[in-house]
Amino acid sequence: MKKIIILIIFAVAGFGAFSQDSNTMYLKQDTSAKAYSATDYIAMKGMTVMVFKDGDSIALTNVLTLKDGSVVKQDGSVTRKNGQVIKLKEGDKIYWNGKILMKGEMTMTRKDSN
């Protein structure tokens, strides 16, 4: 009887581990800038800093260091490598290369640059 109970406990624990969303797990585990593409970004959404990767999003829970050395904190403050501090506002985005796109700015495409 004890063996059956122990087997049930391990089975329930195993199913619980597989029930978590794999994308959410990936975003939580890997906070290095190398894991993100040029189209992934961080944005303020509803007073929460969100990380957007491959169409999925998750609230920022750790301090992130971008490819250019900028540091993004959970409160939306971005500290540049030179010490300048910028506070993200609702709708602002910052890409992993460190480029900030303020709400309302348009991105320049190759067609626009001609």
Residue 44 lies in a domain: yes
Q: How many domains does the chain have?
A: 1
pLDDT digits (tens, 9 = 90+) for 26-53: 444 455 555 666 678 999 888 899 998 8
Instruction: Out of 1-10, 14-23, 97-106, give the one with best mean pLDDT.
Output: 97-106
Q: What is the pLDDT of residue 19?
A: 46
Residue 16 lies in a domain: no
| pLDDT higher than 90, residue 78 | yes
Residue 12 lies in a domain: no
Residue 13 lies in a domain: no
Q: Are strands 77-79 and 41-45 parallel, antiparallel or unpaired?
A: unpaired
| pLDDT higher than 80, residue 86 | yes
Domain interval for residue 80: 32-107
Residue 17 lies in a domain: no
Pick the residue with more confidence: 103 or 13?
A: 103
SS3 content of the chain, % helix, strand, coil (to 5): 25, 25, 50
- DSSP code per residue over 60-107: --S-EE-TTS-EE-TTSEEE-TTS-EEE--TT-EEETTS-EE-TTPPP
Residue 51 lies in a domain: yes
Count CB neighbours of 75 within 10 A. 12
Q: What is the pLDDT of residue 29?
A: 40
Question: What is the rounded average pLDDT for all residues in the chain?
Answer: 75
Residue 52 lies in a domain: yes
